[in-house]
Chain A
Amino acid sequence: MEIQKEPLSEPALIRDDEVFLRMNFAERLQHILLVVSFTTLVLTGLPLLFYELKIFKSIFASARAFQFRGFLHRAAAVVLIIDSLWHVGYVAFTRRGRQNLKDLLPRWKDARDALQQFGHNLGLTRFLHRRGIGKKFFARRPFWLFEKEPEYGRYNFIEKFEYLSVVWGSFIMILSGFFMWKLELSLRLFPLWVHDIFVIIHGYEAMLAFLAIIIWHMYNVHLNPEVFPMSRVWLNGKITGHELRTLHPLEYRKIIEERRKAAEPDAPTWS
């Protein structure tokens, strides 16, 4: 992203090399547990979806190997369940957790941001405008020119989407997986055709999650030229003032505002 220079008159309340904590230790550990359990679950679950692939047949070449696969899958599921419960507790009972959740909730701005980012990247409307097409429309609605990139807060629409997907996906997978694990219980409660839906959902939701992680998450935190080869936030939790200013300008300004208020309580609010 292009660096957006702050006005020169602005006192340097945040230096570019100042370090901020974006993910605290608990959040990082939650994420690591999620990575470990998710990866294990995918690796031990895929063979059931793609049972015809030779590679899986050779990895799980014996009944014992196959049974161990099942054990690993359920063990990883237990880790995911514990991690999820911990996260729910963390969000419910810590101030930071509650604030994170609040910041992660989707708003209309996120849809607008997504559209703006995409439109800006595409540059089609600017191209049309330069060619003199739709002048009247763009004069009335300059937003559609997507001249600027959207300004993001603590979490951009991509991060919000990923977070909510994980929440939704984990809920679906844990619920359907639990009934597949406890099949006798499931069939005491539901007819077979409902249980069959659990099985289908478990497989397809897994595919969706797997593809979303492989394509969307891997691009945004690894392959994206901005962070390539990898954003290190998930390991050290740190983000610099520079990154804050360029990637999360709204949060950056919010912090500056807070610091300014703290420094001169009577100063007029920044707008």
Chain B
Amino acid sequence: MIRGTVVLLAALLLASLPSPAATADEDCLMCHADKDLKSAAGKTLFVDEGRYRLSTHGQAGLSCVDCHADLAKVEDFPHAEKLEPVDCSLCHDADAAAVAASVHGGPHEAVNASIVVSCKDCHGTHDIRKKEDMDSTVYAINIPDTCERCHLDLVKTKRGGDFVRGFNESVHFQVAKKSGLSISATCVTCHGAHDVRPTDDPESRVARTAIIRTCGRCHAGIERSYLEGVHGKSYLKGLENVPVCTDCHSEHAIQTPGTASSSVYATHVAAVCSRCHDDENLARQYGFLPSRLRTYADSFHGTASGFGETRVANCASCHGFHDIRNSADPRSSIHPANLSATCGRCHAGAGPNFAKGKIHVVSEKTEAKGTYIAKIFYMTAIGGLITVFLVFIAVDLARRARVRWKSKKSR
């Protein structure tokens, strides 16, 4: 708001200054109102005065030479073909400084050094509009189109064009584009506008250390819930490997848990959690129990989920999601005292017997003696009986072959 006022005041000041030698807009439009006016290279030099008057600069009463300052003193027309680039920083100094410090501030050596982004690439030229204007290139709903003009194919991030394209499948994009929800997250909501920084820059809004706050700006309740759980507490301690929002939900292609292609869809949850919780090294490093995926897959829940059954329990069904707590925490959904309630969400009338046993058995020998003994018994029985069967059959066939051979010989 303050910035807007400053801009307006500056514009008014510029417009009201008497400058008799200055070129008037009419002088420019004598030529540039011609729709067919083209440069030697064939580029149109037409300026749509009507659209300019509707633009934020036109509304503020800025004249052509306020921006094309090098033409202010020119008296011979037509002027030279090559003009100085417009310097927006004369008015927009704070924004220009932010851009200069951002990934767009200079040639991006890592991607393509020949590309330098300037203000007009996002904001346009003569028909720049305020970001609150639905026709603006930087209006929330139009932002993805604006950014994707470069970021789909021209300038790929380290993870390729499809990484950005994934955003178009996301719930954020879909509600913005299809339902026109202007407060949905678009590129600038997470990455910032003028101060976009690479992900590995610690000052980036999407850096691992900052992403919780970035998502939490909209998803405040989830942020609080996350920070109360084991992951959030470890995050606050600065643990490097702790999962942040994007680790489970993905970065661009975030979808609702009910969408079949979502990374947190019922049948995909186990794969997401097990990236860490089936990892022996991480388990040793942070002292949590390994083999969570294997032991889940062995259970009916895991087996059925593997076949695409969504009604069976996945990790989140029992452990919760944003505020996952250690089983020793009395508020944990898997604290022994809460198991009846947790299991009871699916198994109506689940009683205390649900807690009298072990889920995620890694070593049956020590953790589940009953099933261990049953398994040993059956493995012995199966091994023994099958051996007896096969030996008996082999000997039977051998004798038949012998008898046949003998009778042939005697004939």
Contacts and interface: CB of A to CB of B under 8 A. Distances in A.
Given A47-B307, A184-B348, A196-B370, A191 B357 contact: yes
Interface in A199-216: 199-201, 204-205, 207-208, 211-212, 215-216
Given A66-B308, A204-B382, A191 B297 contact: no
Contacts of B101: none
22 contacts: A51-B306, A60-B308, A65-B307, A66-B304, A66-B308, A66-B309, A67-B309, A121-B398, A187-B347, A187-B353, A188-B353, A192-B355, A193-B370, A195-B357, A196-B371, A199-B371, A204-B379, A205-B378, A208-B382, A216-B389, A219-B389, A225-B397
A88 interface: no
Using C-beta atoms within 8 Å of the partner chain, give the interface range for chain A.
35 or more
Interface of A: 2, 47-48, 51-52, 56-57, 60-63, 65-67, 118, 120-123, 183-184, 187-197, 199-201, 204-205, 207-208, 211-212, 215-216, 219, 224-225
A204 B300 contact: no
B399 interface: yes
A63 B389 CA distance: 39
Given A51-B297, A51-B306, A192-B353, A204 B374 contact: yes
Given A62-B308, A204-B378, 11 more contacts: A51-B303, A51-B307, A57-B306, A61-B308, A63-B310, A184-B347, A187-B347, A192-B358, A194-B370, A211-B385, A219-B393
Q: Which of A118, A123, A197 has the most chain B CB atoms closer than 10 A to its own CB?
A: A197
A122 B393 CA distance: 11
Contact of B396 (A67, A121, A201): A121
Contacts of B355: 192
Nearest to A49: B303
Contacts of A47: 307
B386 A200 contact: no
A263 B308 CA distance: 71
Contact of A184 (B350, B371, B389): B350
B353 A215 contact: no
Contacts of A120: 399
Q: Which of A2, A61, A195 has the most chain B CB atoms closer than 10 A to its own CB?
A: A195
Contacts of B393: 215-216, 219
Given A63-B307, A183-B347, A211-B386, A201 B374 contact: yes
Contacts of A184: 347-350
A201 B354 CA distance: 19
A-B CB proximity, top 4 nearest: A192-B357, A191-B356, A204-B378, A193-B357
Q: Which of B358, B371, B381, B398 has the most chain A CB atoms closer than 10 A to its own CB?
A: B371
Interface of B: prevailing SS: helix
A215 B389 contact: yes
B107 interface: no
Interface of B: 267, 297, 300, 303-304, 306-310, 347-351, 353-358, 368, 370-371, 374-375, 378-379, 381-382, 385-386, 389-390, 392-393, 395-400, 402-403
Contacts of B390: 215
Given A47-B307, A183-B347, A219-B393, A199 B300 contact: yes
Nearest to A187: B353
B71 to A, nearest CB: 68
Contacts of A199: 300, 371
Contacts of B358: 192-193
Contact of B395 (A66, A122, A187, A208): A122
B375 A204 contact: yes
A118 B307 contact: no
B307 A211 contact: no
A65 B307 CA distance: 9
A142 B203 CA distance: 95
A57 B385 contact: no
Contacts of A61: 308
A219 B394 CA distance: 11
Nearest to A183: B347
A116 B243 CA distance: 68
Given A47-B307, A57-B307, A225 B357 contact: no
A199 B299 CA distance: 9
A121 B399 contact: yes
